Amino acid sequence: MDYLLTDEQKMLKEMVGKFAEEKIGPVASENERNHRFPKEIIDEAGQLGLMGIAYPTEYGGAGMDYVSYFLAVEQVSRWCASTGVIISAHTSLVCDPIYRFGTEEQKQKYLPDLLSGKKIGAFSLTEASAGSDSGNTKTVARKEGNKWIINGSKLFATNGNEASVFILIARTSGEKHRGLSAFIVERDMPGYKIGKLEKKLGIRSSSTAEIILDNVEVPESNLLGKEGDGFKISMVSLDGGRLGITAQALGIARAAIEDSIKYSKERFQFDQPISDFQAIQWMIADMFTEYEAAFLLGWRASKMKDLGLNYSREAAMAKLKASETAMFCANKGIQIHGGYGYTEDFNMERYYRDAKITEIYEGTSEIQRLVISKSLLK
């Protein structure tokens, strides 16, 4: 697919691929088994500019585009899906809304440390009663003088245990969707606590945390956008987030394909490599075809974002296809590896566990189908 890319994008892809293979790949399985956040890798990624690829240099970003970001997350996720989503959630769901909706003062205050990776960001929308139905948000922010007082709790915040800056959605009026507002909340604000850390099927090097808000005082200046803009900011941010998860899913799929090709050439049965068997050949052909189709959808949606076009449907299509492709490829990869694919001696079982979440977060596959169908039937 390199014919679609600029020379700058090709160079970035090569650089990130080399970094990921040499630095991330060797420690990914151990970090995952120990539920260890890859701090050293994220620090180095920040130094390389990977935490702020698509943002202007005036705020500390790398000054590139969203296609470049898409390529980088895929390259990282090929070796470690946890590291891929750490970068994706930080970039798409925190840096992007501050850049798109923040005041100049907010951008100058928060973006330099976020885009350099000195600080990690997290996005807090989901609650026990508000998953796909974000309009059912119960966390409340009430205005008192020149500050907001926030009370409630959030679930499933990616990067929640390490983040210093949070984009948090809270209810500021009784209207379902129009009553939501977005806030920039800092970890050290009194009353802000990290609750339960989830023990997950996959992406175990990435923290998923409960956030507890007990009379957290947030300055009036930390309202992001206008009061009542929270739902809009969430939906726009999730469009970008879906591109990051598309890239993560593609990285998992590519890992499954590449490992399966290698294993099929090395594994002998009936006095020949199993790659000689048509059954294996067809599985690999189907895996690669699905991957290429998903990549093209992801590239198109990323390109549309760079061009300033409405890409909400295209992001949903890309995320839907890529996440289901990741599951398909991981499933076929285990089948190709046979019994070994079911053991921790090979990475395939990790790819399978990591792939599943891509069908759930940043909008389930069912939500993506709703977004796509509504755009066609309106």
Q: Measured between alpha carbons, how far apart are the two ends of the chain, in Å?
A: 34
Contacting residues for 38 by C-beta, under 8 A, at least 6 apart: 24, 27, 31, 80, 82, 83, 86, 205
Nearest to 192 by CA among 160, 221, 222: 160
Residues 211-235 have pLDDT tens digits of: 999 999 999 999 999 999 999 999 9
Known catalytic residues are 362
In this prediction, what percent of the chain has a pLDDT beyond 90? 96
Q: Under the phi-then-psi rule, with left for phi > 0, alpha for psi from -120 to 50, and beta for the rest, what region is 147?
A: beta
The CATH number of 2-115, from 1.10.540.10, 3.40.250.10, 1.20.120.140, 1.10.3720.10, is 1.10.540.10
Amino acid at 374: K
Distance CA 240, CA 69 (A): 11
**What is the model's pTM?**
0.97
Residue 325 near residue 291, CB atoms below 8 Å: yes
What is the predicted pLDDT for the residue at 2?
A: 86
Nearest to 234 by CA among 132, 120, 302, 161: 132
Nearest to 226 by CA among 104, 102, 53: 102
**Is the confidence at residue 131, as pLDDT, over 90?**
no
**pLDDT level of residue 115 (50, 70, 90 thresholds):** very high
Residue 317 near residue 265, CB atoms below 8 Å: no
Both tokens assigned to 148: 């907001």
Distance CA 39, CA 233 (A): 29
CA atoms within 13 A on the CB side of 349: 13
What is the predicted pLDDT for the residue at 239?
A: 96
Tell me which architecture the domain covering 121-231 has in CATH.
Answer: Beta Barrel (2.40)
**pLDDT level of residue 84 (50, 70, 90 thresholds):** very high
Nearest to 352 by CA among 321, 319, 329, 322: 329
Residues 283-323 have pLDDT tens digits of: 999 999 999 999 999 999 999 999 999 999 999 999 999 99
What is the predicted pLDDT for the residue at 1?
A: 76
In this prediction, what percent of the chain has a pLDDT beyond 70? 100
For the chain, give every residue range classified as CATH 1.10.540.10.
Answer: 2-115
Give the mean pLDDT of 278-282: 98
| Domain spanning 238-377: CATH superfamily | Butyryl-CoA Dehydrogenase, subunit A, domain 3 (1.20.140.10)
For the chain, give every residue range classified as CATH 1.20.140.10.
Answer: 238-377
- 129 vs 108, residue with greater confidence: 108
Average pLDDT score over the chain: 97
Amino acid at 85: V
**pLDDT level of residue 342 (50, 70, 90 thresholds):** very high
Residues 163-174 have pLDDT tens digits of: 999 999 999 998
Give the mean pLDDT of 119-143: 94
Distance CA 237, CA 157 (A): 15
What is the predicted pLDDT for the residue at 38?
A: 97
What is the predicted pLDDT for the residue at 109?
A: 98
Residues 40-80 have pLDDT tens digits of: 999 999 999 999 999 999 999 999 999 999 999 999 999 99
Distance CA 231, CA 180 (A): 6
Distance CA 360, CA 196 (A): 20
Distance CA 267, CA 4 (A): 35
**pLDDT level of residue 378 (50, 70, 90 thresholds):** confident
